[in-house]
């Protein structure tokens, strides 16, 4: 063991051959290598004579790289303190008085990385030379945790100082220990003026004896660690104002009550708005009540008017029905008259005009006959209009043939009346069926034409 040889050089000659001594040294070596802390032993010249495995791993050196080197290689040049060079004093006293403490330093790894360490210093004298012992612990994580804790503390302090609500810290008896700036804005008292006062002194209590019970912790204990309520407080100028208060008890690490936090909020404006809303609600309720009564009255009037309107509507419906019946009858009468005129003219006049035309007429007589036939056509046109609308695709001759068929005339009769052959009338009948879409059906043409009325 190279480190052991270094120590052996410092051992008294009488101890070198003592097996009990070396058995003890071997035990130390085993214990030192198993400890989670780094252990470095240096002689009076600050030369490293021993380092355990944790030290080698912590600083990144192999054992032979550290043995015989100055302890100062494990510290950045910029962070070395004057007492690090206090070697003379160390030699005089055997134990350096300056280094009999646990201190925080900056360690330096082999790769040049600096990191925070905590070093516990001690020394031991192995005649005739003293040895410097350093137990070193990497406190990087602890420092990071402390930094995070400090950031959290600063953040909470910022929240405490910038909160719009007043925050009052008290001890376990309720005496004020700290306040934020909002407390002065709300109460009119500065932090100095409130320091040492009991928190209950800020509460407005007409009966002095009940003042302390207003913020008594017994109330909080009864309702739990956090209690929220509204109360009336008194400013420095003696004016009173409504406050929403929240009291939170703080506990120490043993779970005992250590103090409290009182958060106050001036709710004067809110109370004013609540009062305005209450008044507005009452006014609205009165208006609604009045309006409801008016609407009920109007509704009754409308109901009455509705009944009258219903009666009138029923009367009008009856009158309308009667008029419709009269108009329907009038229409039927008109149709009957038209039908009769059409039948009479067709049966009693038209055939004879056709027969006259078949006789030997001179031009003048033929002209008068044509005029007569035309005038009859004009007279009958209103009665033929309904049928003509249905048969709008038919030619004038086809319409005449259709009209005769509707009247029940046979082909021979129609041919004699119109002065045409039976074959020609059959041709017109076939054309009429095609134009009415009956050419593929067995529907009676006369019945179909009758249905068009």
Q: Please give the structure tokens belonging to residue 291.
A: 């309006």
Q: Which CATH class is domain 163-266?
A: alpha beta
Q: Which pLDDT score is estimated for 401?
A: 86
Q: Which pLDDT score is estimated for 8?
A: 45
How far apart, in whole angstroms, are the C-alpha atoms of residue 328 and residue 219?
94
Is the alpha carbon torsion for 424, 427, 433, 436 positive or negative? negative
Q: Which pLDDT score is estimated for 342?
A: 65
243: left (phi over 0), alpha (psi -120 to 50) or beta: beta
The more confidently predicted of residues 161 and 227 is 161
Question: CA of 332: how far to CAs of 328, 335, 345, in Å?
Answer: 6, 5, 20
* For residue 22, pLDDT beyond 50: no
Under a CB-based contact definition with an 8 Å cutoff, are residues 179 and 169 in contact?
yes
Kindly report, residue by residue over 340-379, the tens digit of the pLDDT.
Answer: 676 677 667 777 777 787 788 888 887 888 888 778 777 7
**Domain limits of the chain?**
2-140, 163-266, 343-451
Query: What pairs with residue 120 in β-bridges?
Result: 102, 135
Under a CB-based contact definition with an 8 Å cutoff, are residues 121 and 101 in contact?
yes
Average confidence (pLDDT) over 89-113:
66
* Residue 214 φ then ψ, to 5°: -65, -35
Quote the pTM value: 0.44
Under a CB-based contact definition with an 8 Å cutoff, are residues 71 and 40 in contact?
yes
Angle at 158 between CA 141 and CA 249, to 5 degrees: 85
Q: Which pLDDT score is estimated for 10?
A: 44
Kindly report, residue by residue over 409-439, the tens digit of the pLDDT.
Answer: 888 888 888 888 989 999 988 888 888 888 7
Average confidence (pLDDT) over 166-170:
91
- Confidence grade of residue 18 (pLDDT, cut at 50, 70, 90): low
Cβ atoms within 10 Å, residue 198: 16
Nearest Cα neighbor of 422 from 434, 414, 430 is: 414
Under a CB-based contact definition with an 8 Å cutoff, are residues 405 and 428 in contact?
no
Under a CB-based contact definition with an 8 Å cutoff, are residues 143 and 229 in contact?
no
Pairing relationship of beta strands 240-251 and 226-234 according to DSSP bridges: antiparallel
Q: Please give the structure tokens belonging to residue 64.
A: 């032979």
Please provide the average confidence, as pLDDT, over all residues in the chain.
80
Q: Which pLDDT score is estimated for 211?
A: 47
* For residue 88, pLDDT beyond 90: no
Residue 320: CA atoms inside 13 Å, Cβ hemisphere, count?
6
Q: Which pLDDT score is estimated for 392?
A: 52
- Confidence grade of residue 113 (pLDDT, cut at 50, 70, 90): very high
Under a CB-based contact definition with an 8 Å cutoff, are residues 85 and 106 in contact?
no
Q: Which pLDDT score is estimated for 81?
A: 58
How far apart, in whole angstroms, are the C-alpha atoms of residue 167 and residue 178?
8
* For residue 391, pLDDT beyond 80: no
2-140 carries CATH number 3.40.50.10490: no
Under a CB-based contact definition with an 8 Å cutoff, are residues 96 and 122 in contact?
no
Question: CA of 395: how far to CAs of 391, 401, 412, in Å?
Answer: 9, 10, 21
Most confident of 71-80, 167-176, 339-348: 167-176
How far apart, in whole angstroms, are the C-alpha atoms of residue 132 and residue 122?
6
Q: Please give the structure tokens belonging to residue 60.
A: 């990144």
Average confidence (pLDDT) over 30-37:
83
Under a CB-based contact definition with an 8 Å cutoff, are residues 361 and 423 in contact?
no
What 3 state SS string does the chain have?
CHHHHHHHHHCCHHHHCCHHHHHHHHHHHHHHHHCCCEEEEECCCCEEEEECHHHHHHHCCCHHHHCCCEHHHHCCHHHCCHHHHCHHHHHHHCCCHHHCCEEEEEEECCCCCEEEEEEEEEEEEECCEEEEEEEEEECHHHHHHHHHHHHHHHHHHHHHHHCCCEEEEEECCCEEEEECHHHHHHHCCCHHHHCCCEHHHHECCCCHHHHHHHCCHHHHHHHCCEEEEEEEEECCCCCEEEEEEEEEEEECCCCCEEEEEEEEEECHHHHHHHHHHHHHHHHHHHHHHHHHHHHHHHHHHHHHHHHHHHHHHHHHHHHHHHHHHHHHHHHHHHHHHHHHHHHHHHHHHHHHHHHHHHCCCCHHHHHHHHHHHHHHHHHHHHHHHHHHHHCCCCCHHHHHHHHHHHCCCCHHHHHHHHCCCHHHHHHHHHHHHHHCCCCCCCCCHHHHHHHCC
Q: Which pLDDT score is estimated for 273?
A: 92
């Amino acid at each position: 063991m190279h480190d052991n040889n270094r120590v052996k050089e410092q051992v008294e000659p009488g101890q070198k051959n003592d097996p009990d001594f070396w058995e003890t040294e071997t035990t130390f070596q085993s214990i030192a290598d198993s400890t989670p802390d780094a252990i470095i032993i240096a002689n009076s010249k600050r030369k490293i004579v021993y380092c355990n495995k944790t030290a080698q791993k912590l600083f990144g050196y192999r054992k032979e790289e550290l043995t015989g080197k100055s302890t100062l290689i494990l510290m950045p040049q910029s962070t070395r303190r004057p007492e690090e060079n206090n070697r003379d004093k160390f030699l005089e006293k055997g134990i350096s008085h300056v280094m009999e403490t646990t201190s925080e330093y900056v360690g330096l790894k082999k790769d040049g990385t600096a990191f925070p360490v905590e070093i516990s210093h001690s020394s031991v004298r192995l005649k005739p030379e003293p040895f410097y012992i350093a137990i070193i612990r990497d406190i990087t994580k602890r420092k990071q945790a402390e930094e995070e804790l400090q950031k959290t503390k600063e953040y909470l302090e910022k929240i405490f100082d910038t909160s719009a609500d007043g925050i009052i810290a008290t001890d376990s008896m309720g005496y004020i220990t700290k306040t934020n700036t909002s407390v002065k804005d709300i109460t009119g008292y500065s932090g100095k003026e409130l320091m040492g006062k009991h928190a209950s002194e800020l509460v407005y209590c007409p009966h002095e004896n009940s003042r302390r019970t207003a913020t008594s912790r017994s109330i909080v204990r009864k309702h739990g660690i956090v209690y929220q309520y509204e109360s009336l407080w008194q400013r420095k100028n003696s004016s009173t104002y409504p406050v929403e208060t929240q009291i939170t008890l703080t506990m120490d690490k043993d779970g005992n009550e250590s103090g409290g936090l009182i958060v106050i909020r001036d709710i004067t404006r809110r109370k004013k708005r609540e009062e305005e809303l209450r008044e507005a609600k009452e006014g609205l309720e009165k208006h609604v009540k009045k309006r409801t009564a008016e609407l009920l009255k109007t509704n009754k009037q409308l109901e009455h008017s509705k009944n009258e309107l219903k009666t009138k509507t029923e009367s009008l419906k009856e009158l309308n029905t009667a008029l419709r019946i009269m108009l329907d009858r009038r229409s039927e009468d008109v149709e009957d008259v038209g039908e009769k005129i059409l039948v009479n003219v067709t049966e009693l006049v038209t055939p004879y005009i056709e027969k006259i035309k078949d006789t030997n007429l001179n031009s003048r007589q033929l002209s008068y006959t044509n005029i007569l036939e035309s005038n009859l056509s004009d007279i009958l046109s209103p009665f033929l209009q309904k049928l003509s609308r249905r048969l709008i695709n038919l030619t004038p001759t086809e319409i005449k043939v259709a009209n005769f068929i509707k009247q029940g005339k046979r082909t021979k009769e129609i041919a004699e009346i119109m002065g045409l052959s039976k074959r020609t009338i059959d041709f017109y009948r076939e054309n009429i069926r095609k134009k009415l879409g009956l050419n593929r059906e067995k529907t009676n043409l006369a019945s179909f034409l009758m249905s068009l009325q």
